[in-house]
Structure 1
Amino acid sequence: MRGGGVEAVVMNYYRHVDRSCVQFDFLVDEDSTIVPRDEIESLGGRVFEVPPYQRLPRYTRELEILFRAERWPIVHSHVNALSVFPLRAAKRARVPIRIAHSHSTSGRGEHAKNAMKAVLKRLSNLYPTKRFACSEYAGEWLFGKGASFDVVYNAIDLQAFSFSASVRAEARSELGLVGDTFAIGHLGRFMAQKNQAFLVDVFAELARTRPDSVLVFAGDGDSRPLVELRAAERGVADKVMFLGQREDANRLYQAFDAFALPSLYEGLCLVGVEAQRAGLPCLLSDAITREVDVTGTCEFLPVGDPKAWAAALSQIAEAPARDRSLSKHERLRFDDYDIEKAAPKLVACYEHLASEAKRAASA
């Protein structure tokens, strides 16, 4: 757990499931940097730390010991291609229900990581008894075309992300955004996949013609110092804000005028759904599945062409101000992403799987 999108998805579901029917315990690597332990424990869950997966023999051995000791009926793995390892340990420990959940894919530039993923993908169907994915694209990527899997949407609290003019005014004031300052927002963990350094290059192009613009980053991670250095090198450090890890994403979206996500790859991208719900114009990498385009208004651009992104942002900045409140028809498009509806579906799925496993064991 490092404060990324997958963690946000899991916690969204955990907050909204009926915990009198289903309770979550969390198994996290010891090198996790952002574990909401207090919240998890306040909701009745427990946190178990295991060695990081890079120490593979210890990682799998300690997982198997835990699985045998705790006798969880369901192990739901959210580590994408790496799910091979915890689910293998779960099978050895005779855990009856083993769920592999695909949240991501692969992209250009990460050669060593992609080579490892290519090997693990071949084993991805050996150990799960059930397969989930955040999108059709992510499911086919991990499990293969024609494989059986269920799409479990990256659901959110829709009301929390709905546009509010009063919240916008407050959030912009808190960030020091005055007047018509054009604010481009980005939320995400600082890592190669998210391609934030490219976004700084985009902003440097935009700032030449739009000096009244700012770029706002929310999130943290290993590559943040490199992105900060890039902002200084491009001469825009005074116009780029690094907010660090935030717990008020819903308020931040209100303060922005556009949202940009130039990721090299994504399974779906939770932040794209959140930004659209807040009524924001969204510029997304063309490596991201079009399934994320809930409103039909997202623009997909190639990474590697900062001028094209800067031109698209400039068009947004120059367009007349529009009402960001969604119409009833637009709001209906988000039904699949409504956590109030999605959480009970997940509980029902767990209960059905558990019931089937009990019947099979008694047969």
Structure 2
Amino acid sequence: ASPQLRRLKEQGCAVHTIGAYSPFHMLSYYKQLMAVLRAGHYDIVHAYNITRSWLLFLAARKCKVPIRLFHARTSKTDGKLPIQATYRLFIRLGTGLSTHLLANSEESGQFFFKGKPFRVIKNAIDLDAFAVSPEHRARRRSELGLEDGFVLGHVGRFTEAKNHGFLVDIFKEVLARDDTARLLLVGDGPLFQPVVDKVKLEGIEGKVRFAGARNDVPEWYCAMDVFVFPSLYEGYGNAAVEAQAAGLPVVASAAVPRTVVLTDRVHFMPASSSLADWAERILDTKGARSPRGGQEAIDSKGFGMDEASDSLYAYYRAICRKENE
């Protein structure tokens, strides 16, 4: 079991595991959902997944679950037109079968729900986990041979949205100006190997570190000096919030929602920015990393786990009361 599942079980949560979703075994998946919902007598189902939420809502409606929450978490979808059309169909189905609409940002809500009313729910993070640790910083930088380098970092899945290829181009431009620069990439995904191949083709494999998918992501933020976030689109941009909690300056594309700005260390690059513009802005952040982190500022804006979970629980109770009136 994953650390997250173990933690949920330790906290007394009931965790039901069902078979993996497949378009070729949709009926089996639906029957498993029905079995869980019938046994649980639930008041609420809360779903995030674009392709499968509608099926959960269909089962929930059949089982007379009165409240069905559809939660938008992206402002665009990857893929060519036929795939985009399929996603749009799933979103319409999910919207039609749900009773309440939620989003992690205004951008996500507008993309999903096309003018229908929705409620924005803040993406909380565990601020304690992102506390700045000199020990973690020293250990991770030593492991990767980054002790004296100026480390550009990124955390995220290797997908079209995250724009890793452009990030490598930005890094090359920074490297031309500062030969101590290094690039640290944390994550995995479908475009991982193409990015590895691009790094080799550019002849900079000795300057780039691939950490892969990690369960200890907060420690890796400690190894960075600046977080670079050149996304083509973002539903919210949680990694930018995590980076600020870890005390890092953030240099982000204009596509990242402005709601991620929770400290004074976030810099946005206009869409027209050249590689040289990106490099200069990144190099300007040298020394801007805060040794104290940004937890206090982020917590004060309601993004701490305790306040956000209390807020979500209060919302659940309010809609249940309204349903029972």
**Is 215-224 or 60-69 further displaced after alignment?**
60-69
Distance 1:298 1:34, change over 3 A: same
Q: CA deviation at 1:356?
A: 4.0
Equivalent residue, structure 1, for 2:278: 312
Give yes or no for the alignment of 1:75 onto 2:41: no
Normalising by structure 1, what TM-score? Answer: 0.78
Structure 1 counterpart of 2:138, from 169, 178, 183: 169
Counterparts of 2:194 and 2:294 in 1: how far apart (Å)? 43
Structure 2 counterpart of 1:151, from 117, 120, 128: 120
Structure 2 counterpart of 1:229, from 197, 210, 213: 197
Normalising by structure 2, what TM-score? Answer: 0.86
Q: CA deviation at 1:35?
A: 7.7
Distance 1:156 1:332, change over 3 A: closer
Residue identity in the other structure for 1:312: W
Distance 1:35 1:196, change over 3 A: farther
**Is 108-117 or 327-336 further displaced after alignment?**
327-336
Residue identity in the other structure for 1:40: L
Distance 1:84 1:301, change over 3 A: farther
Q: How does 1:1-363 map onto structure 2 within 5 Å?
A: 36-44=4-12, 45-55=14-24, 56-80=26-50, 82-106=52-76, 110-145=80-115, 147-165=116-134, 167-179=136-148, 181-301=149-269, 308-309=274-275, 311-317=277-283, 321-322=287-288, 324-325=290-291, 331=297, 334-357=300-323, 359=324
How big is each residue's C-alpha offset from its partner over 1:276-298, in whole Å with a ceiling of 9 and x where there is no partner?
22222212232222222222542
Residue identity in the other structure for 1:340: D
Residue identity in the other structure for 1:215: L
Query: Is contact 1:260-1:284 (8 Å) kept?
Result: yes
Distance 1:292 1:160, change over 3 A: same
Query: Is contact 1:102-1:138 (8 Å) kept?
Result: yes
Which secondary structure does the structure 2 equivalent of 1:215 belong to? strand
Q: CA deviation at 1:332?
A: 5.8
Residue identity in the other structure for 1:132: L
Residue identity in the other structure for 2:306: E
How big is each residue's C-alpha offset from its partner over 1:99-126, in whole Å with a ceiling of 9 and x where there is no partner?
1111112157643332223333434432
Residue identity in the other structure for 2:23: Q
Runs (5+) with no aligned partner, structure 1: 1-32
Query: Is contact 1:77-1:83 (8 Å) kept?
Result: yes
Q: CA deviation at 1:274?
A: 0.7
Query: Is contact 2:127-2:304 (8 Å) kept?
Result: yes
Distance 1:124 1:300, change over 3 A: farther
How big is each residue's C-alpha offset from its partner over 1:123-158, in whole Å with a ceiling of 9 and x where there is no partner?
44322122221112111221222x322211111122
Query: Is contact 1:80-1:101 (8 Å) kept?
Result: no
Q: CA deviation at 1:37?
A: 3.6
Distance 1:309 1:64, change over 3 A: farther
Counterparts of 2:129 and 2:81 in 1: how far apart (Å)? 39
Distance 1:107 1:75, change over 3 A: closer
Query: Is contact 2:188-2:212 (8 Å) kept?
Result: yes
Which secondary structure does the structure 1 equivalent of 2:189 belong to? coil
Counterparts of 1:329 and 1:224 in 2: how far apart (Å)? 31
Query: Is contact 2:225-2:289 (8 Å) kept?
Result: no
Counterparts of 1:163 and 1:327 in 2: how far apart (Å)? 6
Which secondary structure does the structure 1 equivalent of 2:90 belong to? helix
Counterparts of 1:58 and 1:100 in 2: how far apart (Å)? 22
Q: CA deviation at 1:89?
A: 2.1
Q: CA deviation at 1:159?
A: 3.4
Query: Is contact 1:262-1:284 (8 Å) kept?
Result: yes
User: RMSD value over aligned CA atoms?
Assistant: 2.9
Distance 1:81 1:140, change over 3 A: farther
How big is each residue's C-alpha offset from its partner over 1:186-238, in whole Å with a ceiling of 9 and x where there is no partner?
11122222222222222233323322111111112232112111111111111
How big is each residue's C-alpha offset from its partner over 1:304-362, in whole Å with a ceiling of 9 and x where there is no partner?
x8x834542344335552461569997167522111211112222223333444x35xx
